[in-house]
Each structure stands twice: as structure tokens, then as C-alpha cells.
Amino acid sequence: MSPAALIQAADPRQQVGEFAHYLRQHGFALGYAEVELMVQSAAALPVQQWERIAGLWRAIASGSHTQWSRYPEVHQAYWFPNKVKGKTRNSGLTQRSRSLPDLVKQMHSDMGDDPPGAAKPLLGVTDVPGSGDMEAPDSPKRAQGGASRTAPQDQRDFSEWLPGDMDRFEPLVEAFKRRLRTKLMRRYQGHPDHGAIHLRRSLRSALATGGELVKLHHVKRKRRMPQVVVLVDVSRSMEAHAQFFLRLSRALVEIMNARAFVFHTRLAEVTPLMRQRSKRIQEKVNAVSFGFGGGTRIAHCLNEALDVHLGRSLKRGDLFMVLSDGYDTDEPQGLRDVLARVQGRGARVCWLHPTVDVPQSAAVVLAAEHVTRFMPVHNLASLSRLPELLV
Amino acid sequence: MTVHVEKPDAAHSQAWATPEGLREQLFKAGYIADEDLASLVWMGLALERPLLLEGEAGVGKTAIASACARALHRPLLRLQCYEGLDLSQAVYEWNYSRQLLEIRLAEAGQGDRNTLRENLFSEDFLLERPLLQAIRSPQPCVLLIDEIDRADEAFEAFLLEMLSEYQVTVPEIGTLKAVSKPLVVLTSNGTRDVSDALRRRCLFHYVDFPTLARETQIVRTLVPEAAGRLVEETVAFVQRLRKHDLEKIPGVAETLDWVRVLFKLGHVELPIDPQLLLPSLAALLKTRNDRWQVTAETVARLLDGPRMGQDVGVAGAMTVNTK
């Protein structure tokens, strides 16, 4: 049977369902309603305008800017695989060829005179293997013999990671964020329907209804999410680890709205840079850090962060995270004093070090009493212990 | 809240029967839409689906809704979202003053108490806010829900019923179904992620900065009094400026403002001296860091880029198919 005949024989809805399944494999979240909408939109267009379908399906399938940018490539790869450069073709596999124009023609002939908005039961789609059930992955194979289910990446040191591996930070930071509890403040703020009655405001608004208390105004105590401050040491001794710590701090900025600083002999805030989704971020952060020279002045930089940048914004329950190996050229007492100041404000001081053991530099040993917790973050497994910082 | 409305006729209602027809109507309404955007709006109309437009501030997301209202000859209802927006401001509120007045009248013996008891929570005492107005309007309208990312998640959850079923449930009355289905346009600046449930109910479009050719045409259309050379050079300058790492990248709205400023200053082309341009850059650069970053040297470099003749070759050749 020729490919064209195969297409004629196949149900167009099923083909759209297969495409939806393909999209799901590429990270697009499509349900029944979306597949139905894709079918409807293709049927609503005149046959001659089948080329518009990519744009319409893009609007249906995408839910974010990232997906929006990726869609054309995925669409092209599925429907026009021959046009995709660098495609590897496996011989011996009998895969039915796809043709979007033919599919649209077939859809029109099948659906006839249906009005564009008319909903039809989505026949065929549920029969597509995997297309109907998004939650039906094959159960993972159990480890057998001496095999382990632990991904080698979990135990691999950060200095051996490739840039592509960095995306694994986000889920861990997400888990960390979930553990962060809001703090109850003394001040009150209005709430639409819960909390204590705000008598003055209620009486004031009752003036509009002749003194009748028709609508009560409520207030509740404010809640505040603890602020997270990340300070990354980018000195020469941290060269091998700095970019991974910067990536971690970027995840903290994106997910937990943290404030990020880099320091060396001087300090610079990089929070706005971390928020930008530019490819040149790394270059810019490097430019900022390379300008400082080779030494490390931790105490001086932490003091600057505290006095110049954070001001009074560091409060009780906040998280003050220092990512450093602890080698300091300042006086050892300097670090102890500044960390005592941080702790005096009620913030938790967490020292994340790239070594397995706690740094043994004189400054860190002296300041250890003011550090709430030391934690090694040399690989992914150790990073999964981040929530312990909040205990 | 309601913009210029003309009585729709058969010709208008058929004008958006195809994406090309709709694109032409949008062009006449003063909005130069690209093919994808016109197709999206057409699909939103044909399939009665809300549109979710995301993009940087100033790229023309809100303008799409008002252009659709003009092009389709429908009223525009706008709901500006903000933190703390609740149902009483967005959907409906009971007219307490009038209810009390009725009660007082009944007490004074001037009304029927039995009827009052039944009617006190009827639609007569309901103050309709934009969302309810949109679905209860006898004539289909365009509903703009602007900056949905600023609203609370609770409000977003409420929108789900309204956007999928075009109905609103008022506990005292019941479910109010749509008399006419509006074209709903939601905009978001991406300051926070809109929930997946809401995204699923919408057709998504990312409104990007326009190309040189399209932006030139937009400016020519909206600022026809400015000299052609000034428009071309200004747009090319802004396009080059966008490639710099600015905190707030200037959008089309900023380009339009800048062209208007330069026109008012009497320029017919961009002056060669950067010092003459620097004061007017206030229309383009909106943060202190950006102002600090764009110095006279930067402006001189941007002015010295490929001159307009080469840049605008594309713009001159490009015409929107409105025939």
C-alpha cells in the first residue's frame, strides 16, 4: 500500500492524536480538549490555507514563552522530517509517512459541513497508544543483579558537570522553597472575608448604607515570606565551583526570589542579571567577578552586603547563605563579628562549602559559633539536603 | 469603559470570516497585525476561545483588544487587574443602598413586603461589573482582562468558570448564562506564571517586538505627520538599541512616543550630534541604569550603524496585504 493510500485510510483525528502524543513527549501539556481544538481549527480553515495550521496549533499547544519558541521546530520535525537538517534516518523501520496537507484534506472530507465551533465526540484519539493517557508510563524496570537505580550524576562532583546538567537544580530548589514557611507579623492587613472584624472601617463603609452594617471588613495579621540572601565566593580558589554555585544561586533567585551577590575582594549584587534570561548572563557575571582580582576578603564583603545593600531589610527568620570555601585574607575576627551581626538580626546563617568537610580556615573556625548550619554541596545528592537548612 | 461603537452590519460580521479579512479589518482599525496574530484572533472568534497574550510591556497587547473592538464594531469592556481584585469589583455586587431603601419603603407601608422578600435578591438589585456585563450584553463585545498576572490566584481560579462555560454563578440567584459570547483577551507581562488551568482554556500567543519593517509601518500609520526619513531612522535606531542589554527594553509605544517628541522638536531626520538626541531619550529609556548605560558615545555608535537606506530597504519593500 502506498503512503498516500495509508493516509487516506487512516483516521485524521487519530493522526492528530499521534501528533499530540509526540508533542507531549517534547514537554507540551496537551489534554483531550486541546486535541479536539486542534482538529476543529484544522477543519475550520479552508483546505487551501493548510499552511496556517502551524500557527493555530502553536497557539493551542503552547502555554509559555519557552514552548512558544520551541513549537515550530517540533512541528517541522514531525510533519516535514525530510526538511530538517541533520536528521538521522534508521533503515529497516517501517514508519508511516505523514503529510499535513493530505491530513487537512482528509479532515475536511470527513467532517464535511461542520460549523467551526461545533463540538464533536473525539473518536479515535483514545485508541492511539499513549495519546489518551498522559500518566501511563511503563513501570520502571527494577534493578537486577548488581545494578543500582541511583543516577551516576547524583554522586558526580559539580566540577565534572556539563552545562546541560544544570537544569536539575530547579526541582531541588522547588523542594527547598516548599519547606520555607511564612512568618507571622505583628501588623494587620485587610482580608476579603476572613479574620477579625475591622470595626472602624466597617462603620465608615456603613455610612453609604445609612448606618446599616451591611458589609463587614476583616483584617488578618500579615504574613511574610523569609528573604533569602545568597553570597557566592568567586575568588580564584573557588574557580572550579563558582559557575555551579552561580547556577544554583540563579535557581534560588528565580524560584525563591532571593537576592544574589558575588564577592571576591569586593562585592557586587547580581540579582538583576540573574533574573534576565539572556544568553550573555554568564559573560556578564564573569565580567563582574574577573574585575576584582585574585584575593578573597569575606568579612569585608559581608559587611558591605549588610551595610550597603541589605540595610534593615534582613530580618528575623531570613536565610543568609554564604557559598564559599572559607579562605579569607581579612582578620579572622572580622568574619566572626559580621556573622554575629547577621545572627543578631535573627537571620539564619548557612555556610555551603564545596568540600566534603567543614572548612578549617582560621576565620571559619572562629566564626563557627555564629553559623547556624554548615552543609557540603559538592554533588547533587548533597544538594537534595538543602531543606535541612530550615530545620 | 466602552469605546466608540458603530452598529454592526452584515458586511462587518462577514469581514472576519477569513483570517485575511480580519487582518484587513484590523489594519483599517489602526492595528498592523502579522499573519499569526490575525489567525489567532480569527480562531478565537471562530471557536469562541479566550486569547492569552503574553509579552514585554509596550509591544501592543492591550492595543489588540481595542483594535478588535473597533474592527468588529463591538463595545470594549476592560477589567484592569491588580492585587486584591475581588468579585465585587470584577463580576457583581449587590446594590445595598437600593435594597435598604426598598426595605425602608416597605416598613413605611409603601411597598408589598411579600414581593420584597422574593425580589430583594433578584437581578434588579445586582450591580453588574465588567465580567458580568460582558456575558449579559445583548450584543457580543470584546472583553479585555488586562495584566492578569497582577491579580491573585483566587481570582484566576474564579475566571475558569467564566472562560470555559461563559457563565457566572451568583449564589443567591443561580447560574447566569451568557446572552452573547464575548471575545475575551487576557494579557500578561509574565511577572508571575499564570496557572496551567487558565492557560489550557486559552489560545496562547507571545507578542514579540516587531520586525523593522513592521515597526516602520506601525509608526508611519500612527504618526503620519512625521517625515518618512525621520520614522525610518528612528525605528532603525530603536531596533539597534533593543540589542543592548537594557533593564527595560523599549517597546513600540516608546518608539511612537519618541517619534512624536522628535517631530514636535522639528526634526525631519535624526540629528547627527548625539548631544541633541540625549534629552529626548527620556521617551525611550525608563530606568536610571538604562539612562546611565546609554551615553553620548553609545548613541553615536547606534547612529553610525548601517544607515537607513540599507535598513529600510526591507521596510520599503514590505506592504501589508490589505486588498
A40 interface with B at CB cutoff 8 Å: yes
**Within chain A, which residue ranges are assigned CATH 3.40.50.410?**
228-390
Residue of A nearest to B51 (CA): A59
Q: What pLDDT is stored for residue B6 in this prediction? A: 44
Question: Using an 8 Å Cβ cutoff, are A340 and A318 in contact?
Answer: no
Provide the angle, in degrees to the nearest 10, between the axes of the packed helices B61-72 and B19-28. 100
Cβ-based contacts of B46 with chain A (< 8 Å): 41, 44, 116-117
A276 interface with B at CB cutoff 8 Å: yes
How would residue B62 be classed by pLDDT, with cut points 50, 70 and 90? very high
Residue B13 or residue B214, greater confidence: B214
What cell numbers appear for A229 in the block? 540572601
A116 interface with B at CB cutoff 8 Å: yes
How would residue A165 be classed by pLDDT, with cut points 50, 70 and 90? low
Tell me which residue in A59, A208, A214 faces B203 most closely, judged by beta carbons. Answer: A59
User: Exposed, middle or buried by CB within 10 Å (0-12, 13-18, 19+), for A344?
Assistant: exposed
3-class secondary structure, B256: helix
The alpha carbon of residue A41 is apart from the nearest alpha carbon of chain B, in Å, by: 7
Q: What pLDDT is stored for residue A107 in this prediction? A: 61
Model confidence pLDDT, tens digit, residues A197-250: 999 999 998 888 888 888 899 999 988 889 999 999 888 788 777 777 888 888
> Does the pLDDT value for residue B314 go beyond 70?
no
Q: What pLDDT is stored for residue A30 in this prediction? A: 83
Residue-averaged pLDDT of chain B: 84
CATH architecture group of domain A228-390: 3-Layer(aba) Sandwich (3.40)
Length of chain A measured in residues: 391
Tell me which residue in B43, B97, B245 faces A41 most closely, judged by beta carbons. Answer: B43
CB contact under 8 A, B206 and A65: yes
A375 interface with B at CB cutoff 8 Å: no
Average pLDDT, integer, range A129-149: 40
Average pLDDT, integer, range A318-338: 89
Q: What pLDDT is stored for residue B291 in this prediction? A: 85
Question: Using an 8 Å Cβ cutoff, are B105 and B112 in contact?
Answer: no
> Does the pLDDT value for residue A93 go beyond 60?
no
Q: What pLDDT is stored for residue A351 in this prediction? A: 93
Window from A323-337, B19-33, B98-112 with minimum mean pLDDT: B98-112
How would residue A114 be classed by pLDDT, with cut points 50, 70 and 90? very low
Residue B272 or residue A139, greater confidence: B272
Residue-averaged pLDDT of chain A: 75
The alpha carbon of residue A372 is apart from the nearest alpha carbon of chain B, in Å, by: 32
**A30, A209, A217, A284: best to mutate for the B interface, most B CBs within 10 A:** A209
Window from A93-102, B4-13, B273-282 with minimum mean pLDDT: B4-13
CB contact under 8 A, A62 and B204: yes
Q: What pLDDT is stored for residue A143 in this prediction? A: 38
Average pLDDT, integer, range B60-82: 93
CB contact under 8 A, B245 and A272: no
Cβ-based contacts of B48 with chain A (< 8 Å): 117
What single letter denotes the amino acid at residue B222? L
Residue A390 or residue B215, greater confidence: B215
CB contact under 8 A, B204 and A41: no
Q: What pLDDT is stored for residue A228 in this prediction? A: 92
Q: Which of A180-194, A278-292, B3-17 has the highest mean pLDDT?
A: A180-194
How would residue B322 be classed by pLDDT, with cut points 50, 70 and 90? very low
Rg (CA), chain A: 29
CB contact under 8 A, B86 and A116: no
- Dist. CA A242–CA A353, nearest whole Å: 11
> Does the pLDDT value for residue B22 go beyond 60?
yes
Average pLDDT, integer, range B138-143: 93
The alpha carbon of residue B245 is apart from the nearest alpha carbon of chain A, in Å, by: 8
Average pLDDT, integer, range B121-144: 92
Question: Does the global pTM surpass 0.80?
Answer: no
Residue A317 DSSP class: T
Average pLDDT, integer, range B64-74: 93
What's the CATH class of domain B10-91+130-206? Answer: alpha beta
The alpha carbon of residue B59 is apart from the nearest alpha carbon of chain A, in Å, by: 15
What cell numbers appear for B98 in the block? 437600593
Residue A157 DSSP class: B
CB contact under 8 A, A37 and B47: yes
CB contact under 8 A, B206 and A214: no
For chain B, which residues make up each domain, given as ranges? 10-91+130-206, 96-128, 212-317
Q: What pLDDT is stored for residue B318 in this prediction? A: 38
Tell me which residue in A29, A56, A65 faces B54 most closely, judged by beta carbons. Answer: A65
What single letter denotes the amino acid at residue A97? S
Tell me which residue in A55, A272, A284 faces B39 most closely, judged by beta carbons. Answer: A55
**B56, B96, B153: best to mutate for the A interface, most A CBs within 10 A:** B96
Tracing cell 456575558 back to the chain, one arrives at B135
Cβ-based contacts of B205 with chain A (< 8 Å): 59, 68
Window from A34-48, A156-170, B88-102 with minimum mean pLDDT: A156-170
Residue of A nearest to B100 (CA): A209
Q: What percent of chain A has pLDDT over 70?
A: 70
Provide the angle, in degrees to the nearest 10, between the axes of the packed helices A32-44 and B35-47. 110
